[in-house]
Chain A
């Protein structure tokens, strides 16, 4: 089964293990934060030792990386703490090294960690998805209302990655000192967080300090929330984030999911009725015609099919209708 609920966990409580998987450089230590028992997808705190060197290459898995401390050399660039990478599966990264060592977060999203030496991208790589940014220096803090209902003011975010299909997000968030939010929340998606610095409190799990981490499956209560002295963290969701707020500390995940269904029924009754009225056995959900409809393709006679120069709207007559009084049906 997927990743289990790991909350709360603090990586400061365990030692680094040597990464012995092929392809990675020597002197790479890791602390496992959470692992998908089927796919091998995982999130790890990683320590690159001083003098670490890794050859150019790609991973079979999509990967996200955040520099927490220290400096990395990536190709001919130096990147420092706060630098975030989104690396699609099969994307060949340049050589990576660290003179003095660096602490990073590495998140493999679709398979176990891997590094295949290569200077060219895999042919299946979705190159256009790659991006990296100095999130500390080059993105301003924005108010936390990326979704409504939203968090209380004092919780700010920087959006780092957004998947337009699943609405999965990666973001930095911070809580100002003395932040508090008095509600209990749950979501229809899994949620993950790593505390880069500082401590926050949740009513179910207590304090989460620097190095604190959680992977929380959908529908699990969390909150009320507070942070006495403030904190900054990296957060992720694996699909659309919706805040189902309530004030019943004793509700269970099964009850929470039922309530989500009730709210879907109240909001989108037609869709809800259709979805539950059929046995939708397709493993990838209902058909989306945008991905299955026949398309013209390369051999199609594009010129022959053309009826205009591509700038024409024949319904715009370009003259005044009142002159001869005709009208459209």
Chain B
């Protein structure tokens, strides 16, 4: 990620590097905890997904702002065979 803004060259001290290293280690632990919690939420999420599909095929899907489109039940997506529910992706589309 980059905000594409100005970066002023400077020397990172050993003290600063140590601080960053400690924060990286803690962030790894935080990430793993979140990943586990989100896996544990899978059964609840499955219900939410199906309620969502019921709503978009009844009340409608928000296409743009409040403009809604009711999706025909036959057009609703099917859960892929053998799909493992996953919502946390460490580096998004760039893999782990």
Q: Using a CB–CB distance below 8 Å, which chain A residues touch chain B?
A: 1-9, 20-22, 32, 34-37, 39-40, 42, 60-62, 88-90, 109-112, 114, 122, 124-126, 129, 145, 148-153, 163, 165-166, 168, 181-183, 190, 203-206, 216-221, 224, 238-239, 245, 247-250, 252-254, 256-257
Closest partner residue, chain A, to B28 (CB atom): A4
18 contacts between A and B (CB under 8 A): A5-B92, A20-B19, A35-B23, A60-B7, A62-B3, A62-B5, A112-B12, A150-B65, A163-B3, A182-B55, A204-B45, A217-B89, A217-B92, A220-B92, A249-B77, A250-B79, A250-B80, A252-B89
User: Provided the pairs A20-B19, A148-B64, A182-B55 are in contact, do residues A34 and B27 lie with their beta carbons within 8 angstroms?
Assistant: yes
Q: Which residues from 26 to 78 on chain B have a C-beta closer than 8 Å to any C-beta of chain A?
A: 26-27, 30-31, 34, 38, 41, 44-45, 48-49, 52-53, 55-56, 59-66, 68, 71, 76-77
- Known A-B contacts A7-B34, A219-B93; the reply to A182 vs B26 at CB < 8 A is no
Which of A32, A181, A253 is in CB contact (< 8 Å) with B89? A253
> Do B30 and A9 have beta carbons less than 8 Å apart?
yes
User: Within the complex, which residue of A7, A90, A149, A206 is in contact with B8, where a contact is CB–CB below 8 Å?
Assistant: A90
Closest CB of chain A to B21's CB: distance in Å? 9
Smallest CB gap from A22: residue in B: B15
Question: Judging by beta carbons under 8 Å apart, are A2 and B91 in contact?
Answer: yes
Contact (A4, B31) CB under 8 Å given A114-B16, A253-B92: yes
